[in-house]
Structure 1
Amino acid sequence: MLQIEHVGPGPVSPLAREEFVRMRDGIRLATDVYLPGAPVAPDAAPGDTVLIRLPYDKSGAYTYIPLIAEYFTARGYRVVAQDVRGKFRSEGEALLFVNEADDGYDTIDWIVNQAWSNGRVAMWGDSYYGYTQWAAVSSQHPALKAIAPRVTGTQLGEPVRAAAGARTRGVEWGITYLYPLTYFHSQDAYFWDLDPAHRPYSAQVEAVLAQLGSRSISYDQWYPRPVHLPRFPNGDPFDARPVPTLHTIGWWDNCAPLSWADVARIEQRPAWALNHFLRIESMDHESYYVDDAVEDRVEERTHEQLLAGLPRMLEPALAFFEVFVRGNGAPTDIPRVAWNLAGTPGMRASETWPPPDAAALELFAHAGGALSPEHPPAEPAHADWLHDPADPVPSSVANAFAFLLDAPDESALADRDDVIAFTTDPVAEDLDLTGPVRAEAVISSDGPVMDLFVRLLDVDEEGRAFRIARGQVHLRDATDAARVEVDLGQLGYRLRAGHRLRLHLSSSDAPEFIPQPGTGEDPWGATELTTNRQRLELGGDRPFRLTLTIASPGAWPAASTEPKGPTHV
């Protein structure tokens, strides 16, 4: 019998009045209304409203919405917090993503018809309740005046797909198939641990579903034959009327690639770009920060710790809403790009990202383990390693959404035979990394497919290695060598004088990403395992190239190609 934790809805906050809001098809969604002054003397006069639509229980401890609502109401906002369709107290079918556009429109329409609403609505929230904001934008309700999505993306949770005819695509997250089984199995939430040593993983899922006595429609639409239901039936959000957007991304958010993909699309649409304000913070998905005190790096934060974190989380949105909802001030009062350079205090401002003074620097990997701006190796060379699916390279944290909770030292990974390491000389002075990071590699395998993971780390004087960026790519028909590009995301990071940069290259990062079985089979349903020999080209016309964006290229040390660490040549 599997151990499955069952979590039902929490009690409605005494500060709220619960309503059941009818959607266009008759389904009623549980909706908490918070008015300023409640519960003693609620102010029911017309005012601005902040809407939060989420699947994580509007009354539960995990997202502490009552505390957030109280913070907003203290500034005079009415707050509406709603369980999305099929979740916790709401009626309907628990189906990921596809109902949020119309349900968002209908909820906003209900709000503006209430006596306590003045007809102006803003939205706020993280992750899925950031996604519901983009869905509401696509519905084009005229009352939606501003949104403040954090750590999210319009393609949140979507299984990885390859472009037609492409040999490369992304690598599938483990959470892709687990999320529909936890929060979107049915009305309540169910948690259980996948055993990474027991294959096929799909069989573990079937055992869980059998024990629960019902299936998850959200899981079944994605596995084993994906059915991609339309998320935005009214049209793409970025084809809709632009809505002023405060778009918050975390440097260490595992969902940041989805956010940056949306930023790239917005930049191609002048009307949207005009209404888009970017905020980039040194945090992860669960709002742990790189500068958190040791006592605040706890999995279960106390009531006092949650309250202490609210200003950092909510004040930027309140300042944004003051301008774009209440009309107090001008758009120029909000920085076009506000960003933190990790390792330094405070926020910086620029008109663009990357900042206008940023410049590209290319580093090349050498067979001895050096990573250097010196010209690439003239002679052909390569580095080989074995990918053993029975002993994959471990993910560095248990909870990928809370990387900064542990902020682990990853230096020991370089001691593994299946991790290739390349290291720079120490920098002579502080070096600011401010923009995109990309790797270009020629890779191949004796197996049918190959995954390449690239981690960029800051190595201090004591040898501790802290991950600052990463990317991964999946290659099919891998027996034929191919040039691949690996997007490691964006960086705003100060590398301190005396520190070095290090790359870790491998073919797995499990269980955060589903490890390849080595046979070319679907890794979620595979039963047979085999070891593959992987190859990375290093010299001649096939160098490995890392391109950084830096603010002060003169700070880079003199080039060296002396051996730096383990490679397997």
Structure 2
Amino acid sequence: MSKIVSIGPAPTSPLAGEEFVPMRDGVRLATDVYLPNGDAEPGDTILIRLPYDKSGAYTFIPLVAQYFMTRGYRVVAQDVRGKFRSEGEALLFVNEAYDGYDTIEWVTRQRWSNGRVAMWGDSYYGYTQWAAVSTQHPALKAIAPRVTGTQLGEPVEHRSNDITRSVEWGVTYLYPLSYFHSQDAYFWELDLDRRPFSAQVEEVLAEIGSRSISYDQWFPRPVHLRRFPAGSPFDARPVPVLQTIGLWDNCAPLSWADVTEIEKRPVWAMNHFLRIEAMDHESFYLGDPADARTEERSEEQLRRQLPRMLDAALEFFEIFVRGNGSASGYPRVTWALAGTDEVRTSASWPPPGTVERALFATSEGQLAAVPETAGTVAIWVHDPADLVPSSVENAFAFLMDQPNEAPLGDRGDVLVFTGDAVEHAVDFVGPVMARARIQSDGPVMDFFVRLLDVAPDGTALRIARGQVQLADASHPTVVEVNLGQLSYRLAPGHRLRAHVSSSDFPEFIPQPGTGEHPWSAIDIRKNRQRLTLGGDEPFMLSLSALEES
């Protein structure tokens, strides 16, 4: 077992005063208050509620607060319940709704507050914004969640009547052990070659000397958490929301699921504004120079990053919190066209003027405009002892590495299908879907599809991906795979390529081949996987492209 490293709270920023804000049950949450120039006069407040240490280096909240203060905002940063300096139990998701309400109420009663509150933040501290919305505090005027979703971190639910379901992320069971074990954060390395993975967790918990309630709620028998005791945020009174989604964010499927929910509710849709950026979860961008793509960013690098992280939210708050400017003039959708320096706006997503393009995999390893007449079957072996590796070590920072995925196609357990080089640039925007008829001689089959941009020099950048789990793989079954959304220019001379496999490890927990739970399985078995090409049920990709391209 690797060494366990624990990290406690960093010192409070000298720019802030720390308060302990009482919740309705008496638990006190550690809260840093930043006042521009120490000004105690009433003004607008931006609230940030997070579990990653409000004073720590990872989220650099003191720098964020400084930037917001230059625009005259009071900033309130709070460790969520049970984390770092806050009291109470460290428990994923379930206390954020009413703790958010109580904190907003406290803010409105301070002499430096004018009663108007906005919220900002990424990932879990994007989730805390949606939780606060669900409780409908009247002082909450706008939110700006980035790279998050209302179902963030939810384990895959295994229902007996499911034909297909999602493939479980590896981080699902590790996250409650790292950031939500207790007040401090704990980090350790999972031995990827030693099964069962669950036994390693028990060793870690024994060494720490206490259990993680959040882990025990999810494994071995998941408990359905009551995330929103006041009701779904989408059933609450809508507030203006600027939702930022990263095209390379591994959590983007959760963000797009929220977009779908919002579009079902016309009043919410009227208050929803979407921002699509060519970034990943950790705010690395496709166009970043190599010297900016470092795991430990300096304070100077972080300060240079602040405008692209915060300016859009500040512009949004200026209209919807301060009432300066016209809401009708704010673009409904702002989207970066990756592969270019262009940022465009539109009234909807996908933007008007797209046409669907279908590509079909052939027995010759091509992506063609028409399917083969005869149906053939491609076969590969899923070997749990030799898994297809994930592209990067840190799935949340894919664009820090921007890996060349072409070598994965040299593996015998990866099917490769490549299209022709395009003569003119093609702008792919909107959803990407795959449809496939699959089968396995094992009881459960995971099916992964990666879409790549292959440059003339042979290097390949992943631009979309999706995966699905077939619960009963013994019978041939047609499945649909959501590969997310594209906003990407395929340059002249470049090709599209699809990689098909049955694992993506360690980002996703791999099937042992026996049908046992993959987190607790000990025995493993090879499986032969089958994919139909051509015929009446061909393997196909469906993409949308702008008509002009």
* Equivalence for 1:300: 296
Structure-to-structure mapping, 1:404-415, within 5 angstroms:
404-415=399-410
2:12 is aligned to: 12
CA distance in 2, matches of 1:272, 1:417: 48
Q: How big is each residue's C-alpha offset from its partner over 1:254-292, in whole Å with a ceiling of 9 and x where there is no partner? A: 000000000000001000000000000000000000000
**TM-aligned CA deviation for residue 334 of structure 1:** 1.5
In the alignment, is the contact (CA less than 8 A) between 1:431 and 1:552 conserved in 2?
no
Q: In the alignment, which of 85, 88, 91 is matched to residue 89 of structure 1?
A: 85
Equivalent residue number for residue 76 of structure 1? 72
Amino acid across the alignment from 1:240:
A
Provide the rounded CA distance (Å) in 1 between the counterparts of 2:174 and 2:135: 29
Say whether the 8 Å CA contact 1:282–1:340 is kept in structure 2. Answer: yes
Runs of 4+ in 1 over 4 A off after TM superposition: none
Contact 2:30 2:79 in 1 (8 A): yes
Equivalent residue, structure 2, for 1:459: 454
**Alignment partner for residue 479 of structure 1, among 456, 464, 474?**
474
Q: Distance in 2 between matches of 1:395 and 1:62?
A: 24
Look up the match of 1:26: 26
Post-superposition Cα deviations, 1:302-346, rounded to whole Å, max 9, x if no partner, equal 110000000000000000000000000011232100000001114
Q: Residue in 2 aligned with 1:135?
A: 131
- The Cα shift of 1:156 comes to 0.1
Shift of 1:162: 4.4
CA contact (8 A) 1:2 1:208 kept: no
* Partners of 1:383 and 1:538 within 8 A in 2: yes
Kept after mapping to 2: 8 A contact 1:162/1:168: no
Q: 1:284 corresponds to which letter in structure 2?
A: D
Q: Offset at 1:198? A: 0.3
Q: TM-score normalised to the size of structure 2?
A: 0.99
Q: Is the Cα contact below 8 Å between 2:419 and 2:495 reproduced in 1?
A: yes
Structure 2 counterpart SS, 1:129: helix
Q: Which residue of 1 aligns with 2:207?
A: 211
1:36 aligns with 36
Amino acid at match of 2:69: T
Task: List per-residue Cα deviations over 1:128-149 (Å, max 9, x = no partner).
Answer: 0000000000010000000000
- The equivalent residue for 2:529 is 534
Deviates more, 1:153-162 or 1:253-262: 153-162
- Name the counterpart of 1:279: 275
Aligned counterpart, 1:563:
none
Following TM superposition, by how much is the alpha carbon of 1:163 offset from its aligned partner in structure 2, in angstroms? 5.5
Alpha-carbon distance between aligned partners in 1 of 2:99 and 2:419, rounded to the nearest angstrom: 52
For residues 444 and 308 of structure 2, the distance between their equivalents in structure 1, rounded to whole angstroms, comes to 44
Alignment match, 2:180: 184
1:223 correspondence with 2:219: yes
- Return the alpha-carbon distance in structure 2 between the equivalents of residues 408 and 499 of structure 1: 17
Partner SS for 2:36: coil
- Where 2:276 maps in the other structure, the secondary structure is strand
The Cα shift of 1:164 comes to 5.8
Mapped pair 1:150 → 2:146? yes
CA deviation map 1:516-547 (0-9, x unaligned): 00000000000000000000001211201100
User: Residues of 2 paired with 1:489 and 1:539: CA distance?
Assistant: 24
Report the identity percentage: 69
Distance in 2 separating the partners of 1:220 and 1:246: 34
Aligned twin of 2:63: 67
Whole-Å separation in 2 of the counterparts to 1:294 and 1:278 = 28
Q: Residue 558 of structure 1 aligns with which residue?
A: none
Partners in 1 of 2:379 and 2:411 — Cα distance? 13
C-alpha contact (below 8 Å) 2:439/2:476 kept by paired residues: yes
1:560 aligned residue: none
| Alpha-carbon distance, 1:2 to partner | 3.4
Matched, 1:550 2:545: yes
Q: Which residue of 2 aligns with 1:247?
A: 243
2:429 pairs, out of 406, 416, 434, with 434
TM-score under structure 1 normalisation? 0.96
The correspondence of residues 118-133 of structure 1 with structure 2, limited to 5 A, is 118-133=114-129
Given the alignment of the two structures, is residue 265 of structure 1 paired with residue 261 of structure 2, yes or no? Answer: yes
RMSD: 0.8
